[in-house]
Homo-oligomer: A and B are copies of this chain.
Amino acid sequence: MEAKVKPQDPRPGRHAARRDEIIQAAWAEAETRGLSAISLTEVARRVGLRQPSLYSYFASKNALIDAMFAQAASSLLHQIEQTDYPASPRDGARLVARTVLQFGVSNPTQSQLIFQRTIPGYEPSADAYAPALQMQDRYVRKLADAGVTAPADVDIFTALVAGLASQQLANDPGGDRWVSQLDTVLDMFFAHLDRRSRT
């Protein structure tokens, strides 16, 4: 899948490093212009290159976006996996919710690319989508450990987190007006589960 080109710089890994720089520049571009309005000319300028030179690293603009998708998904997956979860399964579910919510509001552009279909003409490749699937698997597993197994309950749980994230980003970006309600909302959710299981 990777272009087999000999980098000018003899140091191994230089090509990959430059590639990462470009992806970073593309994120910066997306933050200012919007995800769907990334300009390769601007991305190149940010890393001190001319626009055609990017084609030594990415076969097309979509290939660059695909790399961004894979990076964002891997990043969230990594955060979920590296988290130190408490013994209580229910607290574990709470923590994974907090991790995802925190990622969402701290990295709005990454989240937009991963969670919404907002780039016209772009569909993630199977390779790029793999970490996203793995991430969802971890997420669902954490919920299952806490007894959230019914599909409808999983849907509600994800909607609660997504709702807080979307409101936070749209109406109080950078703040914590909605994020601070996560515990209350999860109390609500688990009280609902408990009440239902008692009957």
CA distance A120 to B181 in the complex (A): 29
Taking CB atoms, residues of chain B closer than 8 Å to A181 are 152, 155-156, 159
Say if the beta carbon of A95 comes within 8 Å of chain B: no
Give a binary string over A163-193; 1 marks a CB under 8 Å from any B CB, 0 the rest. Answer: 1101100100000011001001101110110
Measured CA separation A152–B192 after assembly (Å)? 19
The CA of A117 and the CA of B162, in the complex, are separated in Å by 17
Contacting residue for A36 out of B34, B170, B184, CB 8 A:
B34
**Do B178 and A155 touch (CB < 8 A)?**
yes
Asked whether, in the complex, the Cβ of B158 is within 8 Å of the Cβ of A34, the reply is no
For residue A159, which residue of chain B has the nearest CB?
B163
Of residues A33, A120, A163, which shows the largest number of chain B Cβ atoms within 10 Å of its Cβ? A163
Say which residue of B116, B164, B170 sits within 8 Å of A163 (CB atoms).
Answer: B164
Partner of A162, one of B167, B191, B195: B167
In the complex formed, the residue of B with least CB distance to A170 is: B116
A34 & B118 in contact (Cβ 8 Å cutoff): yes
Contact B167 A158 (CB under 8 A): yes
A37 contacts B by Cβ under 8 Å: yes
Chain B residues whose CB sits within 8 angstroms of the CB of A191 once the complex forms: 188, 191-192, 195
Chain B contacts for A164, CB-based, 8 A:
159, 163
11 CB-based A-B contacts, threshold 8 Å: A34-B36, A118-B118, A152-B181, A156-B185, A160-B163, A162-B166, A162-B167, A163-B164, A163-B166, A166-B166, A188-B188
Chain A residues within 8 Å of B, Cβ to Cβ: 33-34, 36-37, 115-118, 120, 152, 155-156, 158-164, 166-167, 170, 177-178, 181, 184-185, 187-189, 191-192, 195
